[in-house]
Chain A
Amino acid sequence: MSPALAMFLGFIAITLWITWWAARRNTGSSAYFAAGRSLAAWQNGVAVAGDYMSAASFLGIAGIIAFQGYDGFMYSVGWLVAYLTVLLIVAEPLRNAGKYTMADVLAYRLSPRPVRAMGALSTLTVSTFYMIAQMVGAGALVSLLLKDTGIGFETAVIGIGVLMIVYVVFGGMLATTWVQIVKAILLMAGTILLSVLVLAHFGFDLGAFFDAIGAVTYTNAQGVSVTQDFMTPGLRYTPPYGALDLISLGMALIFGTAGLPHILVRFYTVPDARTARKSVVWAMLIIGTFYILTTFLGFGAATIVGRDFIAANGGTNMSAPLLAQALAGDLFFAFISSIAFATILAVVAGLTISASTSFAHDFWTNVLHHGRERRAGEEVRVARITAFFVGAISIGIAIALGPNANVAFLVALAFAVAASANLPVIVLSLFWKRFTTAGAVCGLATGLVSSLVLILLSPSILRADAVFPLENPGIVSIPLGFLGAFVGTWLTREPAAERKFAELSVRANTGLGAERATTH
């Protein structure tokens, strides 16, 4: 058995044990959907970081820096800054006002059925797109990392899908959280170790490291060997639209992170708003450190491994694992590969539970059955069944798309929908007294549709014939989402919602009447 396979199996064994342990403690809805709201700040903070740092970050950003230098590092910057929106605007009022989902906050003073139906639709859209991107990437990656063992793309996708279904169906939020925590710790350990090894390679001389970045030699598209200063801006984001695309990406990250359903639901797992705030601070420490260290992963791969070797051995996504192999041999390669695997598994589990919670709580219980469970435990049962279907459908779509599908745009799409549909209505329902149900529904619909249409017209889909020149639609779709919410509100009046605004403000700011922890 190869060391990579042994480490994969080791991680799977640990996570299954966590699931078994969590399954015995899951009694009741709040235990299943929100881990009993009894997590400590550090636990939730590490889990938020775990949910956020996807394989796209670990492997993707290292690859972009290895191939395009400084511009790749610019891609790292927005991810931490985005958490200021979460910290300053969303986390605490959301924790105080809601119960299990994003739509809880909207339904607090608006007409529950329309806003929950639209909220569930938006949540399912974001989660499914993000998940398909992860699954296709994961399948291609695992079959590449494990190519000696003969595990193919389909086996890898099915394996990941089945594991994520098991975590979510049996272990609920508690198991998902601990899988995130284990993964985040592994990912940080791997990243720090890799960074130290890169520095050691240059004799712990930062000057020597940066000198090497100043002269990276590779073969360009014309087949000519060139030496390039990789600190120079402009290798990726080129005129005429490069700079605008980067700004648009930044906007999607800064507005979108605080609208990602799988990040938002994490704040229901802590006892109160103060703990939610502290957990964002924990997450920011970890996430910031991680993205700064992408300097070493990416530029390390560019200088030590080299662009040509990476391109010939699996392409950009293999930059970090190949760097590990070059620095410390096959065993370390296996370790970094299994971390990438753990990363994917944890992120898809987080996405699945947020999608199934939204379907069961928002759509099934509140839209279809007017907020009443017909039998005790129905909501949890529906969520478990949904998780099974969400998993099965994602496996099917990922296999149908195949390992060579270009799915990076699905991540851009998920962030664009979160930023243009979810965030405007969350913020307006919390801070604008005049906001109405029509405004919320209109804002969600405009944000969702404009993101979808702009991506369909972008170079990601239409290549050279693109009608819309940017790969990230945020710069247009976010203002449109807000505009939709404003127009819907101006055209209607809702005195009942305005009367409840004071109540919402008191609850959001003081925690009076907020959902309490159930287990200790």
Chain B
Amino acid sequence: MATKVAGVVNVAYLFALSQFLVAWVIAALYVRAASRFDAMAHRIVENFKARSR
């Protein structure tokens, strides 16, 4: 972990920083998937309303 990459910057610091990036990327992927779930939920509700009419 203490291996230097550039100057004093070591693997440990880059690893710590990478967690911020990973968190943001996972969040972005989820938000994309969730807009698909929103559409599915919307369809289910519409179907239900149409049938109970």
With A73-B13, A510-B41 given, is the CB distance from A288 to B20 under 8 Å? Answer: yes
- Asked if A232 lies at the interface with its beta carbon under 8 angstroms from chain B, I say yes
Residue A70 lies at the interface, judged by CB distance under 8 Å to chain B: yes
Q: A292: nearest residue on chain B (CB-CB)?
A: B20
Is A233 in contact with B1, judged by CB distance below 8 angstroms?
yes
Interface residues in A73-98 (C-beta closer than 8 Å to B) = 73-74, 76-77, 80-81, 83-84, 87-88, 92
B residues 1-35 with Cβ under 8 Å of A? Answer: 1-2, 7-10, 12-13, 16-17, 19-20, 22-24, 26-27, 30-31, 34
Is A207 interfacial (CB-CB < 8 Å)? yes
Given contacts A231-B12, A511-B41, contact A87 B7 (CB under 8 A): no
Residues A80 and B20 in contact, CB atoms below 8 Å apart: yes
Nearest-Cβ distance from residue A171 to partner chain B, whole angstroms: 31
Assess A77 versus B30: contact at CB under 8 Å? Given A233-B2, A274-B38, A284-B24. Answer: no
Instruction: Of the listed stretches A131-139, A144-152, A208-216, A421-429, name the one at the interface; the rest are far from the partner chain.
Output: A208-216
**What residues of A have a CB within 8 angstroms of the CB of B2 in the complex?**
232-233
Q: A291 vs B21: C-alpha distance in the bound complex, in angstroms?
A: 12
Interface 0/1 of A35-77, CB less than 8 Å to B: 0000000000000000000000000000000000010011011
Residues of A within 8 A of B20 (CB): 77, 80, 288, 291-292
Complex CA–CA separation, A211 to B9 (angstroms): 9
Which residue of chain B is the closest to A232 with respect to CB atoms? B2
Chain B CB within 8 A of A162 CB: no
Chain B residues with CB below 8 A from A88, complex form = 26, 30
Inter-chain CA distance A278–B31, complex, in Å, is 8
Tell me, in angstroms, the Cα distance from A284 to B27 when the chains sit together. Answer: 9
Complex CA–CA separation, A87 to B13 (angstroms): 26
B47 to chain A, nearest CB (A): 11
CA of A81 to CA of B1, assembled, Å = 21
Within 8 Å by CB of A211, from B8, B19, B34, B45, lies B8
| A512-B45 in contact given A231-B8, A233-B12 (Cβ < 8 Å) | yes
Measured in the bound complex, the distance between the Cα atoms of B17 and A77 in whole Å is 8
Cα–Cα, bound, A281→B27 (Å): 7
Asked whether B8 lies within 8 Å of A210 as measured between CB atoms, the reply is yes
Contact partners of A70 in chain B: CB under 8 A: 12-13, 16
Contact yes or no, B19 A281, CB < 8 A: no
Q: How far is the CA of A84 from the CA of B20 in the complex (A)?
A: 11
Does B16 contact A74, Cβ atoms closer than 8 Å?
A: yes
Complex contact A288–B23 (CB within 8 A): yes
Most buried by A among B13, B24, B37: B13
9 residue pairs of the A-B complex, CB under 8 angstroms, read A73-B16, A74-B16, A77-B16, A210-B7, A233-B12, A281-B31, A288-B23, A510-B45, A512-B45
* Given A77-B20, A281-B31, A512-B48, 9 additional A-B pairs, CB 8 A: A87-B27, A210-B7, A211-B8, A214-B7, A233-B2, A274-B38, A284-B23, A284-B27, A292-B20
Binding site for B on A (CB under 8 A): 70, 73-74, 76-77, 80-81, 83-84, 87-88, 92, 207, 210-211, 213-214, 229, 231-233, 274, 277-278, 280-281, 284-285, 288, 291-292, 509-512
Residues of B in contact with A (beta carbons under 8 Å apart): 1-2, 7-10, 12-13, 16-17, 19-20, 22-24, 26-27, 30-31, 34, 37-38, 41, 44-45, 48
Those 4 A-B pairs whose CB atoms lie nearest each other, nearest first: A214-B8, A510-B41, A233-B12, A231-B8
